[in-house]
């Protein structure tokens, strides 16, 4: 059977919040029996855009991660719910049934992603229901996906085998697979929020004039093993991205025409800008 999945490309999200606003517009002031009670005007973000910053001035990388109910195939909220307050539909969508969930705060606490919200006024746990009420009426996109100007968010309904193939071919993965919840929300370019980057700028002196060194060959090593290589740009800048979060000791070798080769070592615990690395003239 075909099931719904949400695909999010972190590289394309620029924090316009259209998806979050579309959800608020759909659910604030509106009740959909069997799907969702109305969303509070303030305090809830059923699609929440989480900002991630890496590096240091002047080399800073900022990315945005839309986080929402993952509609897990092995949903902790479903296990925590009583009296059928949470259901997993055959099309993959998880629904917190508003008529049955009142007072069940344990449903909020069960979500490891923090994607279930507590409505204090109505004493209800609430989460984004994948716009199931619209899809059941024939819509082919969720409102968030429909409103996304860069197509960073896509909603697709496919067989599990096809989704697996798409994820492999396009580089999609899930948040925190170690939770074992089997999410149906997939992300591309997650390295923008969960890996380290190391960058710097290469400059050199020729005839008493210091200039940016473009085209320098830069090799990154860890434990004497090359892990990455790049070339400095027009401004002499370079960066290595997608490095493990645990950091560690790295060694950088720099070679450029007209300049003497240079090697530096650094130990990083977080994303870092190494500053201007000056090369001497070739002998």
Average confidence (pLDDT) over 97-108:
98
Domain edge (last residue) among 131, 157, 192: 192
93, 170: one domain: yes
Is residue 152 pLDDT above 90, yes or no? yes
CB 49 within 8 A of CB 65: yes
3-state helix, strand, coil in the chain (%, to 5): 20, 40, 40
- Do 185 and 138 share a domain, yes or no? yes
Position with higher pLDDT, 237 vs 281: 237
Mean pLDDT confidence for 154-169: 98
Tell me: pLDDT of 188 over 80: yes
**Exposed, middle or buried, 207 (CB in 10 Å: 0-12/13-18/19+)?**
exposed
> Is there a single domain that holds both residue 208 and residue 188?
no
Q: Is residue 205 predicted with pLDDT exceeding 90? A: no
CATH code where residue 243 lies: 2.60.40.10
More confident residue, 206 or 66: 66
Q: How many domains, in total, are found in the chain?
A: 2
Over residues 257-278, the mean pLDDT reads 94
**What is this structure's pTM?**
0.90
Burial status of residue 268 (CB atoms within 10 A of its CB: 0-12, 13-18, 19 or more): middle
Domain that holds residue 250: 195-279
Asked if 180 and 254 count as a contact pair (C-beta separation under 8 A), the reply is no
Average pLDDT score over residue span 112-127: 97
pLDDT digits (tens, 9 = 90+) for 132-146: 999 999 999 999 999
């Amino acid at each position: 059977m075909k099931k719904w999945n949400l695909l999010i490309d972190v590289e394309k999200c620029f924090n316009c919040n259209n998806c979050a606003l579309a959800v608020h517009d759909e659910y604030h002031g509106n009740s959909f029996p069997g799907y969702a009670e109305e969303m509070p005007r303030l305090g809830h973000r059923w699609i929440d855009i989480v900002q991630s910053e890496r590096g240091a001035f002047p080399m800073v990388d900022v990315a945005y991660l839309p986080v929402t109910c993952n509609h897990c195939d092995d949903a902790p909220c479903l296990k925590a719910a009583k009296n059928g307050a949470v259901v997993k539909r055959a099309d993959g969508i998880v629904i917190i049934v508003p008529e049955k969930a009142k007072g069940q705060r344990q449903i909020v606490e069960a979500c490891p992603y923090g994607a279930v919200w507590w409505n204090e006024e109505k004493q209800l746990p609430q989460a984004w229901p994948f716009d199931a009420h619209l899809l059941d009426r024939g819509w082919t996109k969720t409102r968030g996906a429909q409103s996304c100007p860069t197509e960073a968010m896509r909603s697709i309904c496919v067989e599990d085998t096809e989704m697996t193939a798409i994820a492999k071919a396009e580089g999609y993965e899930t948040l925190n697979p170690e939770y074992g919840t089997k999410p149906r929300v997939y992300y591309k370019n997650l390295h923008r929020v969960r890996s380290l980057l190391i960058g710097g700028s290469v400059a050199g002196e020729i005839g008493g004039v210091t200039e940016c060194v473009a085209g320098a060959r830069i090799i990154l090593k860890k434990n004497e093993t090359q892990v990455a290589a790049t070339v400095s740009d027009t401004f002499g800048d370079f960066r290595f991205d997608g490095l493990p979060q645990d950091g560690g000791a790295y060694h950088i070798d720099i070679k450029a025409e007209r300049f003497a080769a240079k090697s530096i070592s650094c130990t990083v615990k977080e994303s870092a800008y190494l500053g201007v690395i000056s090369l001497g003239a070739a002998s």
